[in-house]
Structure 1
Amino acid sequence: MQDTLEESRAQVRARILAWLADQQQAMQDLLQKVVDIDSGSRDEAGVTAVAAALRERLVAAGVAVEFVPVPGYGVLLQAQVPGPTEGAPILLMGHMDTVYPAGTVARRPFRVDAGRAYGPGVADMKSGLVMNVFVAEAFARCGGLTAPLRLFFSCDEEIGSPATREQIMQAARGARAVLNAEPGRVSGNLVTSRKGSMAVEFEVDGVAAHAGINPAAGASAIAAMAHKILALHALTDPAVGTTTNVGVVQGGIVPNMVAPLAKAELDVRYTAETDPDELFERVRAIVEAESLPRTQGRITGMRRTLPMKPTPDALLALYQRGAESLGFAVQGEFTGGAADSGLTASVGAPTLCGTGPVGGHPHTEREYCELSTLVPRAQAVALAIFEHP
C-alpha cells in the first residue's frame, strides 16, 4: 500500500513538472499583458486591471478569486486552491504595484531582446505574479497538495504597504510557509533576510526676504535643509548596516527670494539588529533642530517596513533540494531592499523571498527578466510546496 501511495505521488509530481514545462509561451504572453498595464502605486485603475488579467487566468483553471477593494490603491487579489483537508495554508505572495508613473508603458512597452524581457515592473515583480499564478494553476489541474495553497497579491508594497500591512500579517499568521516572489537575484540566489526601511517626509520653515535688498532679514529654509541633509547622511553606518539617503528635495519660490520653505524625503535602511524607534528619534532630532536661526523643521509623514528575519534553514533546504533535482543550485543571501516578506516573517511565518524569476536593475529603465528562468523557478516553487512536510 505504501509503495502504491509513493508511486502515485511520484506520478503527480511528474505531471506537475511536465505541465509547467509546457507553459513557457503562455507565461510570457501573460507577462506581456500585465507589464503593458501601468500600475504605479496609487493607480487604482491600473492595479485593478493587472488583478483582472491574473484573475482571468486563474478562473479559467477553476480557481476561485476574490478582490478586496483598497480605496486609493486598487484591490487585493486573494485566491485559494484547496488541499485534501482544511488547515494552515502555504502562502504565495506578490505585489501588483510598481514604482513607475502613468505613461511609462506608452514610452517603453514590453519587449524581448536576446532572451530578456524588458518593461516597467517586468522583474519587480510582474514576472513573479505570473509565476505564482501558474504554480497555483498547476496544482489546481494536477492535484498533489497536502495543505491549502493561497495566493495573496497586494497593491501598495512599493510605498511601504501603508494600506495592506495588517491584512498581510493576518494572512501570514499561522501559515506553514510563505514564498514571496520578488525577483531572484542576478546570481539566481534567493533572499533569506532583508533590511527594514523608513521613508520620512519633512519640511523646513524659513523666513522670506528679498535676496538682493535685505537678505539678512530672511532665514533660508534651503540653507537649513542643506545642514540637515548632511547630518542625516552622517547617520549612515556600514558597520551596523544602516544607510540614509535624502532622495527628493524641493524648496524656494524664485531665485531672488530667500527661501521660506523646503521639503525633502529621506530613505532609511536598517537591519533586524537595529532599534528602529531609537533610529527614528535620531532622525527626528536632526529634523527638528534649529539648524540656522529662525528656521524650524518638522516631520510630516513616516512609513516603515519591517526587516525580514532569516529564513529557517529547513525551508531554504527544501527549496534547494527541489532546485537541485531540476538541475540548478541556489543559495540564500541578504539584501538591503525591503519587502512585504519582512511583515510575514515578523508574525512568525517561515518566509523565503526572491523566489520569482531571475531579474535585474529593478526600479530603472534597464529592468529586465531572464525569460529562461520562468519555467524552472515555477517548478522549484511547485516542488517546495509539493514536498513541504
Structure 2
Amino acid sequence: MLNTLNETRLPVHAQVLDWLAPQQQAMQDLLQKVVNIESGSRNEAGVTAVAHALAERLQAAGVPVQFEPVPGYGVLLHAQVNPAEGAAADGAPIILMGHMDTVFPDGTVAKRPYREEAGRAYGPGVADMKSGLVLNVFVAEAFARSGGLKAPLHLFFSCDEEIGSPATRDLIMARVRGARAVFNAEPGRVSGNVVTSRKGSMVVEFEVQGVAAHAGINHAAGASAIEALARKTLALHALTDPATGVTCNVGVVQGGIVPNMVAPHARAEVDLRFTADTNPDELLERVRAIVEEESVPRTQGRITTTRRSLPMKPTPDYLLALYQQGARSLGFEVQGEFTGGAADSGLTASVGVPTLCATGPVGGHPHTEREYCELSSFVPRAQAVALAVLAHP
C-alpha cells in the first residue's frame, strides 16, 4: 500500500481530506472513461471493461483487486484497503458498494457520449451510478495513501443491479453479512440528501394465449389475447394504493401479428413497488390471480418470470448522524429521505447490516437522456464518506 502522506504527521482525517481536495479533475477524467464504455445489463464485455478501468486506478495506488466472473453479466469487483498496523486485517469491514451496469442499450454512448456543460456531466449512467463508483475508488485510494483505518475497507461493485440482481443477490448478501456498515454510492438526491429507506420492487412478466381468427370474416370465432391483456392491465393498475405505498405499472406490452387477425398472443412486463410493510408473496398472489383469470372467454394467462429487489429497511440513526456530522464539518447539510426506487441496499439492509444509500455525487434524471451529475459535489461527498468511515466505531 502507498503511504505517502504519513510523513506529514497530520491527523489521519486531515491527510485524507487534503489528498481528496484537489482530485476533482482526476475524478472527472475517470468518470469520462467509464461513462464512454457501454455497460448495459447483460453486456458482459462492457461491464467487465468498466471493472478493469476502475481497477487500473486502484492498482496504481497499491490496492489489490480481484474479479469474480458472473457468466452472462460480467464480473464482480472486489478490492480491499487494510487497516493500520495493529488492527485486524480480517476483521469486520466497512463496505463501499455500487453497480457497474446501466439501463441503456448498446449504441447509446455513440449517440450521446460523455460531455460537460455548466458544471454538470452528462451521459448514459453518469449519475446512476458511474460517478458513485468513481467516488468510491477515490475514497479507497485516499485511505491507501494515508492509512489510518481502524477496520478493513472493502469495495464491492456488482454487475446486474439494474435488472434486479438476478445473478448476484445471494452473492451480495453473503459478501456483506457481518459487515460493520455499507455505504452504497447511488446518486445523491437532487436536494443533496442521502437515502435512508427505499421501496422494494418486483418485475412480473406474463403472457396471454388467445384464439386466432380472421378479424373481418370470422371475428366471433376468435378470442383476443390483446383484449384480455388490456383488461388485466386495468385490474393490475387498480392494485396501486397510495395508503400502503404499493404502485403497479404495466410498462411493456407486445401482441398480435397483423391488424386483420384476432390476436392469438400477447405479453406484458409489470413493475410493482412496495414498502417493507408489504408482504411481497401476498402481492404476487394478487397479481397471479389477475393474470390467470379468464378475463376474456377462451383466453389463458400465465406468469413466465418474476424477479424482486428487497425494500431497504431504515438506516440506523447513528449511521446517518455520522455522515451528517462529517458533512456539516465540510460546510454542507444533508438529511435522510425515503425513495420509491429500489437498489442493492435493500439486500444489504435485509441481512442486518447498517446501510446508508445515495452517498454518491448529486445527480438527477437517472434512466433518461437528461441524466446528469453535479461535478462540484464530487469532492465534498467523497470527503463526507471518508469522514464517516473514520468515525465509525
User: Would you call these one fold, judging by a TM-score over 0.5?
Assistant: yes
Contact persistence 1:94–1:182 (CA under 8 A): yes
Distance 1:132 1:31 in 2: 12
Contact persistence 1:359–1:369 (CA under 8 A): yes
**What SS does the corresponding residue of 1:249 show, helix, strand or coil?**
strand
Distance 1:133 1:383 in 2: 15
Q: How does 1:290-305 map to 2 (within 5 A)?
A: 290-305=294-309
CA RMSD of aligned residues (A): 0.8
**1:82 equivalenced with 2:82 (yes/no):** yes
Q: Cα offset for 1:9?
A: 8.7
**1:254 equivalenced with 2:258 (yes/no):** yes
**What SS does the corresponding residue of 1:147 show, helix, strand or coil?**
coil
Distance 2:317 2:290 in 1: 40
Map of 1:286 onto structure 2:
290
Distance 2:296 2:109 in 1: 44
Map of 1:62 onto structure 2:
62
Q: Cα offset for 1:309?
A: 0.1
Q: How does 1:84-123 map to 2 (within 5 A)?
A: 84-85=87-88, 86-123=90-127
Q: Cα offset for 1:150?
A: 0.3
**What SS does the corresponding residue of 1:109 show, helix, strand or coil?**
coil
Distance 2:285 2:103 in 1: 28
**Cα deviation code 1:250-309 (max 9, x no counterpart):** 000000000000000000000000011000000000000000100000000000000000
User: 1:314 pairs with 318, 321, 330, which one?
Assistant: 318
**1:207 equivalenced with 2:211 (yes/no):** yes
Q: Cα offset for 1:15?
A: 0.9
Map of 1:192 onto structure 2:
196
Q: Cα offset for 1:13?
A: 1.0
Distance 1:91 1:171 in 2: 10
The 1:204/1:18 distance shift into structure 2, 3 A limit, reads same
Distance 1:9 1:360 in 2: 40
User: 2:383 pairs with 349, 359, 379, which one?
Assistant: 379
Distance 1:96 1:69 in 2: 13
**Cα deviation code 1:141-178 (max 9, x no counterpart):** 00010000000000000000000001110111000000
Distance 1:13 1:296 in 2: 63
Contact persistence 1:37–1:49 (CA under 8 A): yes
Map of 1:336 onto structure 2:
340
User: 2:170 pairs with 147, 161, 166, which one?
Assistant: 166
**Cα deviation code 1:309-342 (max 9, x no counterpart):** 0000000000000000000000000000000000
Moved more, 184-193 or 166-175: 166-175
**What SS does the corresponding residue of 1:219 show, helix, strand or coil?**
coil
User: 1:157 pairs with 155, 158, 161, which one?
Assistant: 161
Contact persistence 1:95–1:154 (CA under 8 A): yes
Q: Cα offset for 1:66?
A: 0.3
**1:46 equivalenced with 2:46 (yes/no):** yes
Contact persistence 1:124–1:182 (CA under 8 A): yes
Distance 2:280 2:168 in 1: 21
TM-score, with length taken from structure 2: 0.96
**1:357 equivalenced with 2:364 (yes/no):** no
Distance 2:345 2:367 in 1: 18
Contact persistence 1:9–1:144 (CA under 8 A): no
Q: How does 1:126-275 map to 2 (within 5 A)?
A: 126-275=130-279
Distance 1:144 1:213 in 2: 81
Paired AA for residue 158 in structure 2 = S
**What SS does the corresponding residue of 1:167 show, helix, strand or coil?**
helix
Map of 2:3 onto structure 1:
none
Map of 1:19 onto structure 2:
19
Distance 1:320 1:301 in 2: 41
Map of 2:33 onto structure 1:
33
Distance 1:11 1:277 in 2: 51
Map of 2:73 onto structure 1:
73
**What SS does the corresponding residue of 1:292 show, helix, strand or coil?**
coil
Paired AA for residue 59 in structure 1 = Q
Aligned length: 382
Q: Cα offset for 1:10?
A: 5.9
Distance 1:387 1:262 in 2: 55
Paired AA for residue 334 in structure 2 = V
**What SS does the corresponding residue of 1:37 show, helix, strand or coil?**
coil
Q: Cα offset for 1:109?
A: 0.2
Map of 1:345 onto structure 2:
349
Paired AA for residue 234 in structure 1 = A
**What SS does the corresponding residue of 1:329 show, helix, strand or coil?**
coil
Q: Cα offset for 1:11?
A: 1.7
Q: Which runs of 5+ in 1 are unaligned?
A: 1-7
Map of 1:4 onto structure 2:
none
Runs of 4+ deviating beyond 4 Å = none
Distance 2:10 2:385 in 1: 17
**Sequence identity (%):** 80
**What SS does the corresponding residue of 1:117 show, helix, strand or coil?**
strand
TM-score, with length taken from structure 1: 0.97
Paired AA for residue 74 in structure 2 = G
